[in-house]
Amino acid sequence: MEMAGEVSEKPQAIKVAAICGSLRKASYNRGLIRAAMEMSKEEMEGVIMEYVEISSLPMMNADLEVEGAYPPEVEAFRRKILEADSLLFASPDYNYSITPLKNALDWGSRPPNVWAGKTAAAVSAVGGGRRAQFHLRQIGVFLHLHFINKPEFYLNAHRPPGKFNADNGDLLDLDTKNKLKELLLSLQAFTLTLLPLPPPHQSTLFNCTTRRS
Ligand SMILES: Cc1cc2nc3c(=O)[nH]c(=O)nc-3n(C[C@H](O)[C@H](O)[C@H](O)COP(=O)(O)O)c2cc1C
């Protein structure tokens, strides 16, 4: 039991919402997220990761916003992001961009912007994902997301030797798992340096729609 005045050596637990930018059933990027979730549960202390699905979100359409309320799927999604301290994005490259992910980012950016002040990391299962990550980071500037810069993480999943199970997207390669763990440790450390500012306060401060010029 902790005595008065004693400082716990356990790091404060951080909540990470993990989002996959591919809707494909056997997505390699979702395989990366599954591996990260397993790792954070089995091998790490102080990282609670939850997968947040984006496939049921409607396409961004401001007509669906009625008297300040969003469709139920959007409300549920926004609540999950608000509850998180940090984001893990796993996205393929779709012609240099992040098609389904952008839709989710847009819904979250509606007032109040639920991304504001949170930390983030990006991983990609394909080499082209580097370009997609640049685009994601660029969008993150306006959403007031704080990305870690290192380590960079992208793979060439379609080149042999295979690192994934092609039938279900499970990550098989041990070296890649170790690299993924390094990234999670970096995200955890960075998040702990920023945590003292409570996210709801920041969300009010950095409301995208009121800052648009
Ligand atoms: C419409 C479309 C565009 C794509 N554009 C690129 C690209 O520009 N660069 C690239 O490396 N891969 C590109 N790909 C390939 C995907 O990144 C690749 O199939 C990846 O494995 C998909 O991720 P997933 O396995 O998580 O579903 C594209 C795929 C689709 C369907």
| Domains of the chain listed by start with CATH number | 14-61+69-204 (3.40.50.360)
Tokens of 9: 């050596």
pLDDT at residue 108 tops 80: yes
Contact call for residues 123 and 88 (beta carbons, < 8 A): yes
What are the pocket residues of ligand 1 if the criterion is a CB atom closer than 6 Å to any ligand atom? Answer: 22, 24, 27-29, 92-96, 125-128, 157
Tell which phi-psi region holds residue 197, choosing left (phi > 0), alpha (psi between -120 and 50) or beta. beta
Distance (Å, whole) CA 133 – CA 193: 23
Q: Which of 96, 126, 153, 154 to mutate to test the pocket of ligand 1 (most atoms within 8 A of CB)?
A: 126
pLDDT per position as a tens digit, 129-181 = 999 999 999 999 999 999 999 999 999 999 999 999 999 999 999 999 999 99
Q: Which residues lie closer than 8 Å to 131 by C-beta, 6 or more apart? A: 93, 96
| Sign of the dihedral defined by the CA atoms of residues 5, 7, 8, 13, in that order | positive
Distance (Å, whole) CA 97 – CA 129: 9
> What per-residue confidence (pLDDT) applies to 64?
98
Contact call for residues 188 and 44 (beta carbons, < 8 A): yes
Atom of ligand 1 nearest to the CA of 169: 25
Tell which phi-psi region holds residue 100, choosing left (phi > 0), alpha (psi between -120 and 50) or beta. alpha
